[in-house]
Structure 1
Amino acid sequence: MAAHQPLPSQPAPVTQRGIFRWLHENLFSTWFNSLVTLIVGYFLVTTLVPMIDWAFFSAVFVGAGADACNPDGACWVFIEQRFGFFIYGFYPQELRWRPTLAFVLFALAVVPPFLPSPPRLRRWIGIFGLTGLPIGAYILIAGGFFGLEPVRTSQWGGLMLTLILSYVGIIAALPIGVVLALGRRSEMPVIRGICVIFIEFWRSVPLITILFMASVMLPLFLPDGVSFDKLMRALVGIVFFQAAYMAEVVRGGLQAIPKGQYEAAEALGLGYWRRMRLIILPQALKIVIPGIANTVISLFKDTTLVLIIGLFDLLGAVKSTISDPAWDNVMAEGYLFVAFCFWVFCFGMSRYSHGIEKKLDTGHAK
């Protein structure tokens, strides 16, 4: 009698491997999930396919003017023709190399810290990004130094102005917010009261009102002969407004630090400022990285409100061009371009914050 021979191994059924298994587990696991999948699929096919055709296949990307556009597709010629204005605003064309160089310096200050490099180099790059970059960028863009031709701030605009408002707002609001957060937790009633009033006042007023006040009312309180241009007044309002929100984010991080950390710092004999600088703040700021990133992204999007006081940021530059009779019916293309630019920068800042969290190991995984 022949010995029992086991059957050779058989491959898994087709529905239990590869793409079919993924579809079954994620899209068609139950009758309800299957119904939802079919409805969403129908919506995507009937909506996305015409949109993709309009945006890419039937679109016109290069041309001499509006006459080259296809009425059945997107007119990206509009973006191509006005791209310089959308990026630099009214900045003189022959001097645009200066803000372009400032953009390059900004990229050099932001990107290298996430590349393999010595810690000392990353530290110096960070110091340059916080101190040298704002000074160097101002000299390049504003001019008036080292033989550079001056350019009035009224000529600044487009994406360049959006980046200036957001970057200066971030760099200035963070340290002010840290000081306000420490002051709100101070044991001195006067300091604590001043910080509380400042934070609650600025958080209780809409940014659009602050911009109006900074543009119209602030000059009335300045001494005779002292004046700030419209951009500087807008920056003051944005910085104070965001500093109040940043203070509450930082205060949340300070409250999350265990009491034992404060007691341990005191036991080492450290003074108040050394305790905060060396022990408490580094831990608190790591904890609130997501909150800081959220505030920064919110600030970047809120810069569009400067349009109401006559500053032409990216959105303002696009809106002013759309009203040109030579470019009618390009509203969708203009706003899609603005949305894409904001998405790129906001998504980049979000990933940047996630990278910082990963490098600093702030997940507190168990």
Structure 2
Amino acid sequence: MPSGGAAFVQTESHPAQPAPITVRGPLAWMRANLFSTPGSGLLTLLAVAFVAWVLPDLVRFLFTDAVWSGDAAACRAKVDGACWAFIAQKFQYVRYGSYPETQHWRIDLTEAIGAVLIVWLLWTSAPKRNVAALLFFIVYPVFAFFLVRGSDLIGLPIIDTSLWGGLFITLLMSVVGIVVSLPVGVLLALGRRSALPIIRTVSVAFIEIVRGVPFITVLFMANVMLPLFVPEAWTPDRLLRPLIGTALFASAYMAEVVRGGLQAMPRGQTEGAQALGLGYWQSMRLIILPQALTTVIPGIVSTFIGLFKDTTLVAIVGIFDFLRTLESARLDPNWGGPTITTTSYVFAAMVYWIFCFGMSRYSQYTERRLKAGRAH
């Protein structure tokens, strides 16, 4: 302060200065995520070296030297590139199986409506999501069944399930398994923690027996053994049997994931619900389950992803899923070539990766949104 007692006051504001590049920005991100420690930096350099070594040949095989159109002769003449012309030629079969070509619009319409309902249901800011849930879980299954299978009552020819196949079957089994396994898994998890001995014993027995046998065994039991225990007139459809087996198998694993979330809930949550006068089902629906399911979102999505990939095993019981139809298509003698098999498996890997990556990213988005909500 000057000797006269006057003080200097700053009357002009200075513009805000950007954060240093070492604190915020691409360099800061690389430093925090790729070079945070010497070991992390070494792994980053090794990964970059590996990508630099593999990527040129991969790009050359998939794009530069690939055959995009033509016939089998064009693919045989070019042995260093993928034969995407084969995928284009067989795409209808891989997509629909042996479903009659003139009726493909029924599958397209079913999948389009299902996709709209799923987007509506998963879009967190969409209006009337309860209506979307009602349509998707109750109305849509009935509508889709009659549309795809057909019925004389609505003037559509009946298409036997033995003709269903391809990517459509994979999506069908995955969606049914996911939709059924979550609520059934929640009920099994609650049953395993029940104070009633009969309910607890039945739940534990079901979970442990199903989890103790391979998925293939469950499929064989559903497809081969089940018809032996019921009258012939009551035998479920050949496609319905593995659908039920898949859903029950996934439910057993889902029950253990949900049970982990329930055990992670502090006892104070239950006591608080009781203090508010809430009954068992009210406290579970309004307080306990929402928090428990939020806690185990990674485990739930991991189970969904595993189920989506495990649907390939239904080929063992004669169901022509996506991978089985691709296998059948590549055995066509008219399309023999040195890169047909590799192209088929690369295409299959890309399709499975797209769906699994999408589920994974959505789960991460949901986790971030819920964490932000809890932070406020």
TM-score category by the smaller chain? 0.7 to 0.9
Q: Is the Cα contact below 8 Å between 2:95 and 2:166 reproduced in 1?
A: yes
1:53 aligns with 2:53: no
Distance in structure 2 (CA, Å) of the matches to 1:73 and 1:317: 22
Distance in structure 2 (CA, Å) of the matches to 1:333 and 1:161: 21
Q: Is the Cα contact below 8 Å between 2:257 and 2:296 reproduced in 1?
A: yes
Distance in structure 2 (CA, Å) of the matches to 1:23 and 1:275: 45
Partner of 2:258: 250
1:165 aligns with 2:170: no
Structure 1 residues 205 and 73: CA distance shift in structure 2, 3 A: same
Deviates more, 1:301-310 or 1:320-329: 320-329
Distance in structure 1 (CA, Å) of the matches to 2:213 and 2:33: 46
Distance in structure 2 (CA, Å) of the matches to 1:41 and 1:68: 35
Partner of 2:95: 87
CA deviations on 1:19-77 (whole Å, 9 max, x unpaired) are 999989988999988877776555433422122111101111122x2112222211100
Structure ranking higher on relative contact order (CA contacts 8 Å, 6+ apart): 2
CA deviations on 1:163-208 (whole Å, 9 max, x unpaired) are 0001011111111111111110001111111110010000001001
1:140 aligns with 2:147: yes
Partner of 2:72: 66
RMSD: 2.9
Deviates more, 1:280-289 or 1:170-179: 280-289
Q: Is the Cα contact below 8 Å between 2:169 and 2:321 reproduced in 1?
A: yes
Structure 1 residues 115 and 29: CA distance shift in structure 2, 3 A: closer
Q: Which runs of 5+ in 2 are unaligned?
A: 1-21
Question: TM-score of the superposition, structure 2-length normalised?
Answer: 0.85
Distance in structure 1 (CA, Å) of the matches to 2:365 and 2:32: 31
Question: Counterpart of 1:237 in structure 2: which amino acid?
Answer: G
Q: CA deviation at 1:365?
A: 5.7
Q: Is the Cα contact below 8 Å between 1:134 and 1:168 reproduced in 2?
A: no
Partner of 1:331: 341
Structure 1 residues 23 and 124: CA distance shift in structure 2, 3 A: closer
1:149 aligns with 2:157: yes
State, as a whole percentage, how many aligned pairs show the same letter: 50
Distance in structure 2 (CA, Å) of the matches to 1:188 and 1:96: 50
Q: 1:275 aligns with which of 283, 291, 295?
A: 283
Question: Counterpart of 1:187 in structure 2: which amino acid?
Answer: A
Partner of 1:129: 136
Matches within 5 A, 1:168-179: 168-179=176-187
Q: Which runs of 5+ in 1 are unaligned?
A: 1-14
Q: 1:358 aligns with which of 351, 368, 376?
A: 368
Question: Counterpart of 2:147 in structure 1: which amino acid?
Answer: L
Q: Is the Cα contact below 8 Å between 1:357 and 1:363 reproduced in 2?
A: no
Question: TM-score of the superposition, structure 1-length normalised?
Answer: 0.87
CA deviations on 1:304-338 (whole Å, 9 max, x unpaired) are 00010111111001111112222223000001111
CA deviations on 1:76-124 (whole Å, 9 max, x unpaired) are 00100000111111111000001101111121012234558554x2221
Distance in structure 2 (CA, Å) of the matches to 1:227 and 1:179: 27
Matches within 5 A, 1:96-111: 96-111=104-119
Deviates more, 1:73-82 or 1:352-361: 352-361
Question: Counterpart of 1:297 in structure 2: which amino acid?
Answer: I
